Structure 1
Amino acid sequence: MAVSMKNVDPAFQGIGQKAGLEIWRIENFVPVPLPKSDHGKFYTGDSYIILKTTALKSGALRYDIHFWLGKATSQDEAGTAAIKSVELDAALGGRAVQYREVQGSESDKFLTYFKPCIIPLEGGCASGFKKPEVEKIEPRLFCCKGRRVVRVKEVPFSRSSLNHDDVFILDTDVKIYQFNGVNSSIQERAKALEVVQFIKDNDHDGKCAVAIVEDGKMAAEADAGEFWGLFGGFAPIGKKASIKENEDEDPGSGKLFICLVDGNVQEVSASPLPRELLETDKCYLLDGGPTVYVWTGRATSLDERKSASKAAEEYIAKKPETTRITRVIEGFETLPFKSYFGEWTTAGGAPVVSEEGRGKVAALLKQQGVDVKGLLKGASVKEDEPSLFNSSGKLEVWRVDGKTKTPVPSEAHGHFYSGDCFVVRYTYQGDQKETECFVCCWLGNQSTEEDQSSAFSHVEEISSSFKGRLVQARVFEGKEPSQFFALFSSLVIFKGGQSSGYKTLVSESASEDETYTEEGLALFRVRGTKPYNSLAVQVEPVSASLNSSDCFIFQSAKTYLLWFGSFSTLEEQQVAARIATSLKSESSPKSLKEGSEPPTFWNALGGKKVYPSQRELVDSDKDPRLFEYTRKPGNLLFEETFNFTQDDLLSDDIMILDTRCELSVWIGQNVSPKDKKQGLAIAEKYVERANRLDGLSKDIPIFKILEGSEPAFFTRHFAWDPSKSAAYVDPFERRLAALQGRPAQGHDTPPKKRTATNGANEPKLDADSSSPMASSQRQSPLTPRPSFTPRKSPVESKEPSPEPVVDPTPTTSESSDAPPPPAATGPFSYEILKVKSSSNPPGIDVTKRESYLSPEEFKSVFGMEVDQFRALPKWKQDQYKKAADLF
């Protein structure tokens, strides 16, 4: 990076060291830090610089810079804020995205930093005047807009300011009134109540009465009479709709493209724009309507970046005052900016930085004056244990063959074939003691489209007949999520397939050159360290398939062994040994470390050839992002919800939660039946867009989740309050009850929308929108199925299946009337509690056999106290219980 640090303001030394907000106010053209007690207080006569530092799961720090301009700030102060923002970015290593925020037209991202709202104060530092102290508050009228992020704007205290579409807050000396326009939504009313609470706490010391006035409901309400009396008495409100906010720009239709370094102005008519236009030693301006973008190449100097910033400010002088500016640096572009271009690719590919390289870069930046703490962090943090399903449920697996599905015997559960599709159903008892179900289709990489479509149809059929809490999923081979892994004792993917459609393709495309060096030869690559990420995949039995980062299972007519790559860990080697035992239980494999192979090993693989011998770095999960799905005439939009919470999941909406490893499409209860059915098709549209702009895998697992049936692996990304989903309470009622100090009234389902969505000009999804495979064309299979046959493990062949807690089969009225057996209390001896015991005590909970042991015998069996055992993750408790024959 060619940025010199000598011209960076001293106020920015040592900033961005930890997550949080840092704010500076421009005073006499110098950025002055604000104390945390003043964060969120903005004066209309001032300009501010705001730095938001976010700690990512990878350990790195992400920076967003905003400069906020009050409506009465001077041009000189506004210009200073813009230039100083560029210097602040340089101090952070030139990696931040910079946003120009104008009072009254702030971005959603900026507003989420200061919940519930921003209400600018009159006055300012530079003008020398402050907000005067008054004994009595003059009435103030505010208009509130927004369902997730509320925008508060003070309007003239006049009846003509009111309308039927918005929510208004009237703040007086003794009481705060909230006026709900008849056409306003429940979410807008709820957000406005947060503003009422904010005004009450900040301007009235929490000692002010609150009144709710409903548009059109006069009756004999005293509060309504008081409210209208302040306006000189009741009179009808005009039918004029509220003034619309700035329309969002239309991605993919940039109006003007300017090179800001050499002054070359290019009118580019291409839509979308070609990515090749951006050169790393130049700065460019892109006019997107309400937002103007400045793109800065990595090879530009600090002075060039300042000049580009100044040019952008001059450019928008002729545009509306509410126009925003977003400045992005090469390599850190935002999705809205990328949307103007075709398929987005990083110039030169993604850089690979070794540890030695990281140290050299950090030392160089330190010489330039950059504080490098957190700058180039790349080591992944310790992965959290994922939230998995209850492990005491009932697992069923079917193999798909055309329109039919055939049950897979329990001993073959976890054995999949690349040429086939499978349907998996897991029924279990959830935390709320309700029957829950997870149903998914697993699609092999070489399976036919007919089988894929049929698998999805079977999933839909199973889902429609289930009446409890349900989660649907689509899983592609090689992209299995942890929830899927954990359902099986071992997951193995074999080459070939058994469906008639696959066999037909093989016979039509088989080649005479397809031969094996030896009958019965098979090679499996094994990856994973835990039960929720372990996988064995059959690969071509040639030396080029080996990899120093992995473990491999090798079988020939005479040999059965484990090959450990030099970079494999002890945990990975133990997983490989466990899977090898489950595949061929009658013989124990021999271990072979990389570098000690005998000649016969290489001869069996067709000779020693070059294979990957460097350590592979696995990307850790990225921070999750939440997107709202909306329709506009001729377009499908996915708008990001920043700093999201559970309250952002609104019953009227469809939301996409993207963790980069899996995708969840969340569907609110109030969504139309038509859109509910197209949930997966909507998710596929998001995947198509994210793949083009952000490199998201097309085969990412997709979960379909209905409001009220959220599984733990979804809720863990929120600060989840189960009481909010136990019974529907509309957000306005919940907040009003909290404000009034009373319990909220719940309902079984949310109220229906007042008006139906107009479907005219709605964009159409794929013709076969019910099929998740519309955009997933698979390669024709060429590899025949090997002679290697999986065998049951000792555990599978000797131990009976654990008794399931939940039986999805409906019970008859006779069985439901029968009295339950008396509950057992214990304690009982370990020998009669074991699964294999023929004298299990009647009435015990078979999922909690360990709880009937005495404390002394519990410690003898498990080697730890009861409290220590309970502190373990659920999956680890189950492992101990399986080993002790108590599961």
Structure 2
Amino acid sequence: MATAKALEPAFQGVGSKPGVEIWRIENFKPVPLPKADYGKFYSGDSYVVLQTSGRAGAGAYTYDIHFWLGKDTSQDEAGVAAIKTVELDAILGGRAVQHRELQNHESDKFISYFKPCIIPLEGGVASGFKKPEEEEFVTRLYTCKGKRVVHLKQVPFSRSVLNHDDVFILDTKDKIFQFNGANSNIQERAKALEVVQFLKDTYHEGTCNVAIVDDGKLQAEGDSGEFWVIFGGFAPIGKKVLSDDDVVPDKTPGKLYSIAGGQVADQIEEYSKSTFENDKCYLMDCGDEVFVWVGRSTQVDDRKAAMKAAEEFLTSNNRPKATLVTRLIQGYETHSFKSNFDSWPSSTAPSAENRGKVAENRGKVSALLKQQGVGPKGKEKNAPVVEEVVPPLLEANGKLEVWSIDGDAKTPVASEDIGKFYSGDCYIVLYSYHSREKKEDFYLCYWIGKDSTEEDQNTAAKLTASMFNSLKGRPVQGRIYQEKEPPQFIAIFQPMVVFKGGLSSGYKSHIAEKGLDDETYKPDSASVIQILGTAVHNNKATQLDPVASSLNSHECFVIQSGSHLYIWQGTQSTYEQHAWAAKIAEFVKPGVHVKYQKEGSESASFWLGLGGKDTCGSNKVSLDTNRDPHLFAFSLSKGKFEIEEVYNFDQDDLLPEDILILDTRAEVIVWIGQAVDQKEKKNALEYGQKYIELAESLDGLSPHVPLYKVTEGNEPCFFTVYFSWEASKTSIPGNSFQKKVTILFGAGHSAGHANKGGGSQRRAAVAALSGVLTNEKTIADEPPPADEPEQSEEAPEEPVEPSEPIPEDDDSEPKVAIEEDENGILSSQSTFTYEQVRVKSEDTVPGIDLKRREAYLSVEEFESVLGMTKEEFYKLPKWKQDLTKKKVDLF
């Protein structure tokens, strides 16, 4: 194989640590881009971008290579970028996923490296461009599209470009305006705010003013009037005019073609994973994305030719520019590729490359958990082993309740038996605890024994759902299968022992019908209990068959034989296992004297109880669970469950209108936003089950993986650990847009902006347009044009707690007027007592503003009830005002 130097000197030493590396093509050679310019892409240039994922010392990295082609780049430069991408891949070992990125049509994965957006700039290296900071400031108009990552596109600075469907950003020297088209998506509005903040920090040193202008809400004074003046005055805006850039191809069922002689050849009608040969290349056409699959044994020249064949395929079929092109190497197929198959069976023996990938993923999560303050114990810094990661556990010293399922009911488990589980039974577990000075938290789940009946499993699911509802949807709700218990579950039992058999009537009837022996554990019968893990999160003990072959030199066992109780210690077992075995013996048989047996020096009577001496096992059982976190959005299209990955995810991707799925490989967690429809919330676990079935067939996920659902504002530590989590964000009420306004600009901005809505406000604003807006007489006297919506269906409302009913507004003012002074302090000439204005009052005063009850209190009573002065109260963020009022029954 050619050396790195022979292929391309600029690529020496690449991919040696996680992160992004970028080269721009200059004079047909890749030149490293300064870090300060990452995220800035010139339309006249071509770039090569490498994303390295993983952690040093944890096995092989994974790589994504993107070549980005500006809309004005030359064909020659574009060709060099494509060729250098293949060379870079060869240097990295030939296993990277490669992506073609066209300006204005970039993949979400590419943009996710540069959150919140990439900045498109005119010019290029060949035109001797100036850096933006060297130029005079130029007013620019952009469109913002995308609710996960933002596709930012510069458009001509003209009023005719504005429309009702998109979100626009107008960046002027002294102020940045966000214009929300009346029909624009609420989540796109929220994401655009992140771009506004980014532009403010990048080009205005964080000091310029920011304004939000809503389509259809006109005001002569303030931001709206100022915005329209920049465009030469107000005039009705037209409907959106579609351009080539707006043509988005539809996803279609995958069509597979062979590639031969550098050309796309015959279509293959019937295909499966076994169709692909490791010395050939194939093209999969999925409409919105074209995949080039490359066998592991193909040569570099064949790989270059395959990508060229894909480009020619798109051209000859007149495919839209937005069609993505992705090249995959055998063994590194992406989920979007595998989703075109009914199943993608795993290889029986993992390759060295795949073993490295597993190790790398484990390392990635180890680093992630260490960041969160959860670190390994007892390992030297330079130890050449993969660190054991202790997952985040629930707060200790909570209240634990357990019920067993019998028939159609649940029966409380006696306190002395909590921690004893039978494989023929099902149980409901409720753990109540406090975390981070919050309200009480709940961990609620049902445990399914591997020999339990379907009837008992269904009853457990139904009763758990009922308990979840009775606790107002606050708990984490989970489904746990025997042998797949997550660390958080095991840790709340100290100890936890799983016995054979069952106690429920359903299990007894089942084995009677089948004519099976009842193996249910009895205190006086022969038994072998395995002590494996000793850490708080893995110290589950399990009953095995009472035979000598169940023993293992690396473990410790509690053995009941006749009237004797033994602890057998394998030659490779640890002191911690011995100590834990003693605790298990006391838990199972309180007060009984224990005899110790060391491997190799057992008594004859010991073996007699196990049916005779036999060879003990010596294979060490691994307790590690590999974690490889991925976040997915999903959709149900014509009954088919389809998922879309959210790349490089963070807390801001958890939008209140969404249900998302976090798959860590060790658990699947369905997250439900506050603004999700009630019916959808009820189906959340079903969506999680559909995901598990899909991931089982395509990625080999265990069908018995723990499944949880969590609701916004009640996220447990084992969910938040995968994010840079700010608990304060979850307490902010409102939809995606309202929350983002509050987070970025403060609640006063949010409240002031959100309060301006409704027909009366519009009529008043239109009447006040004189002197600022053109054609004022026409506008004031005539109704709005037919193609201009009077008000967005998704117009932001005043942020409120979603659980509270909101009185419906009308266009009339409250009969009991409220006045607001220059400091935003509200008061009324008519004052009422606290008992008259509180929510639960039996004598509410008619005509008061139900959202501003506090304004009618006297100064003395205001301070007495709310515990602060009016000046202090009205300085609080709007959401905090509402929470404060809620505590005293004024909201």
Q: What TM bracket, shorter-length normalisation?
A: 0.7 to 0.9
Cα gap change, 1:353 to 1:265, in 2 (>3 Å): closer
Match of 2:272 among 271, 274, 295: 274
Conserved 8 A contact 1:260-1:285: no
User: Distance between the aligned counterparts of 1:310 and 1:617, measured in 2?
Assistant: 46
User: Distance between the aligned counterparts of 2:96 and 2:557, measured in 1?
Assistant: 43
Query: How far apart are residue 682 of structure 1 and its match?
Result: 0.8
Conserved 8 A contact 2:108-2:647: yes
What SS class does the counterpart of residue 451 from structure 2 fall into?
Answer: coil
The equivalent of 1:34 in structure 2 is 33
Cα gap change, 1:115 to 1:95, in 2 (>3 Å): same
User: Distance between the aligned counterparts of 1:354 and 1:684, measured in 2?
Assistant: 27
The equivalent of 1:824 in structure 2 is none
In the TM superposition, 1:179-194 aligns within 5 A as: 179-194=179-194
Please list every run of 5 or more consecutive structure 1 residues that lacks an aligned counterpart in the other structure: 360-376, 757-887
User: Distance between the aligned counterparts of 1:262 and 1:612, measured in 2?
Assistant: 55
Query: How far apart are residue 459 of structure 1 and its match?
Result: 0.8
Query: How far apart are residue 198 of structure 1 and its match?
Result: 2.7
The equivalent of 1:296 in structure 2 is 294
The equivalent of 1:708 in structure 2 is 713
Cα gap change, 1:378 to 1:168, in 2 (>3 Å): farther
Query: How far apart are residue 410 of structure 1 and its match?
Result: 0.3
Please list every run of 5 or more consecutive structure 2 residues that lacks an aligned counterpart in the other structure: 360-381, 758-790, 795-891
Query: How far apart are residue 694 of structure 1 and its match?
Result: 0.8
Cα gap change, 1:500 to 1:736, in 2 (>3 Å): closer
Conserved 8 A contact 2:405-2:460: yes
The equivalent of 2:45 in structure 1 is 46
Report the number of matched residues: 732
Conserved 8 A contact 2:428-2:445: yes
What SS class does the counterpart of residue 192 from structure 1 fall into?
Answer: helix
Conserved 8 A contact 1:4-1:301: no
User: Distance between the aligned counterparts of 2:454 and 2:149, measured in 1?
Assistant: 43
**1:472 counterpart letter in structure 2:** Q
Conserved 8 A contact 2:259-2:306: no
The equivalent of 2:674 in structure 1 is 669
Cα gap change, 1:201 to 1:405, in 2 (>3 Å): closer
Conserved 8 A contact 1:59-1:379: no
Cα gap change, 1:174 to 1:14, in 2 (>3 Å): same
The equivalent of 1:147 in structure 2 is 147
The equivalent of 1:349 in structure 2 is 349
The equivalent of 2:471 in structure 1 is 466
Conserved 8 A contact 1:163-1:240: yes
Conserved 8 A contact 1:436-1:468: no
The equivalent of 1:528 in structure 2 is 533
Query: How far apart are residue 337 of structure 1 and its match?
Result: 0.9
Cα gap change, 1:355 to 1:635, in 2 (>3 Å): closer
Cα gap change, 1:595 to 1:66, in 2 (>3 Å): farther
Query: How far apart are residue 726 of structure 1 and its match?
Result: 2.3
Match of 1:682 among 673, 680, 687: 687
The equivalent of 2:833 in structure 1 is none
Cα gap change, 1:406 to 1:347, in 2 (>3 Å): closer
1:617-663 C-alpha deviation (Å, 9 max, x unpaired) = 45443231111133334433221111111111111110111111112
1:677-718 C-alpha deviation (Å, 9 max, x unpaired) = 111111000101111111111111111111111122221221
Query: How far apart are residue 384 of structure 1 and its match?
Result: 4.1
Match of 1:654 among 655, 659, 666: 659
Query: How far apart are residue 152 of structure 1 and its match?
Result: 0.7
Query: How far apart are residue 15 of structure 1 and its match?
Result: 1.5
Conserved 8 A contact 2:176-2:211: yes
User: Distance between the aligned counterparts of 1:131 and 1:539, measured in 2?
Assistant: 71
Give % identity.
51
Query: How far apart are residue 535 of structure 1 and its match?
Result: 0.9
1:494 paired with 2:499, answer yes
The equivalent of 2:12 in structure 1 is 13
1:264-300 C-alpha deviation (Å, 9 max, x unpaired) = 8332233xx4110112222222112221112222222
Cα gap change, 1:754 to 1:547, in 2 (>3 Å): farther
Match of 2:282 among 284, 300, 307: 284
Cα gap change, 1:83 to 1:207, in 2 (>3 Å): same
Conserved 8 A contact 1:664-1:705: yes
Cα gap change, 1:260 to 1:347, in 2 (>3 Å): farther
The equivalent of 1:23 in structure 2 is 22
User: Distance between the aligned counterparts of 1:572 and 1:553, measured in 2?
Assistant: 11
What SS class does the counterpart of residue 120 from structure 1 fall into?
Answer: strand
1:523-582 C-alpha deviation (Å, 9 max, x unpaired) = 222221212211111122234434444433322115433334455444344333332332
TM-score of the superposition, structure 2-length normalised?
0.75
TM-score of the superposition, structure 1-length normalised?
0.76
Cα gap change, 1:536 to 1:249, in 2 (>3 Å): farther
Conserved 8 A contact 1:657-1:663: yes
Q: Which range moves more in the overlay, 187-196 or 275-284? A: 187-196
Query: How far apart are residue 217 of structure 1 and its match?
Result: 1.0
In the TM superposition, 1:535-614 aligns within 5 A as: 535-597=540-602, 601=606, 604-607=609-612, 612-614=617-619
Cα gap change, 1:191 to 1:467, in 2 (>3 Å): closer
What SS class does the counterpart of residue 702 from structure 2 fall into?
Answer: coil
User: Distance between the aligned counterparts of 1:618 and 1:483, measured in 2?
Assistant: 14
The equivalent of 1:330 in structure 2 is 330
Query: How far apart are residue 465 of structure 1 and its match?
Result: 1.7
1:322-346 C-alpha deviation (Å, 9 max, x unpaired) = 3222122222211111111221123
The alignment's C-alpha RMSD in Å is 3.5
1:114-168 C-alpha deviation (Å, 9 max, x unpaired) = 1221122212224555568886444322111122211111222333322212111
Match of 1:441 among 430, 439, 446: 446
User: Distance between the aligned counterparts of 2:261 and 2:518, measured in 1?
Assistant: 59
**2:532 counterpart letter in structure 1:** R
What SS class does the counterpart of residue 94 from structure 2 fall into?
Answer: coil
The equivalent of 2:311 in structure 1 is 313
In the TM superposition, 1:233-248 aligns within 5 A as: 233-240=233-240, 247=248
What SS class does the counterpart of residue 584 from structure 2 fall into?
Answer: helix
Cα gap change, 1:55 to 1:574, in 2 (>3 Å): farther
Query: How far apart are residue 183 of structure 1 and its match?
Result: 1.9
User: Distance between the aligned counterparts of 1:300 and 1:566, measured in 2?
Assistant: 50
Query: How far apart are residue 249 of structure 1 and its match?
Result: 5.7
**1:449 counterpart letter in structure 2:** E
Conserved 8 A contact 2:693-2:703: yes
User: Distance between the aligned counterparts of 1:407 and 1:668, measured in 2?
Assistant: 33
User: Distance between the aligned counterparts of 2:188 and 2:449, measured in 1?
Assistant: 46
What SS class does the counterpart of residue 257 from structure 1 fall into?
Answer: strand
1:55 paired with 2:60, answer no
Cα gap change, 1:175 to 1:8, in 2 (>3 Å): same
Match of 1:623 among 622, 628, 635: 628
The equivalent of 2:217 in structure 1 is 217
Conserved 8 A contact 1:145-1:166: yes
Conserved 8 A contact 1:524-1:539: yes
1:396-443 C-alpha deviation (Å, 9 max, x unpaired) = 111101201111100000101111111111223343342222221111
Q: Which range moves more in the overlay, 198-207 or 388-397? A: 198-207
Match of 1:453 among 449, 455, 458: 458
**2:641 counterpart letter in structure 1:** L
User: Distance between the aligned counterparts of 1:627 and 1:509, measured in 2?
Assistant: 43
Cα gap change, 1:229 to 1:726, in 2 (>3 Å): closer
Query: How far apart are residue 390 of structure 1 and its match?
Result: 2.9
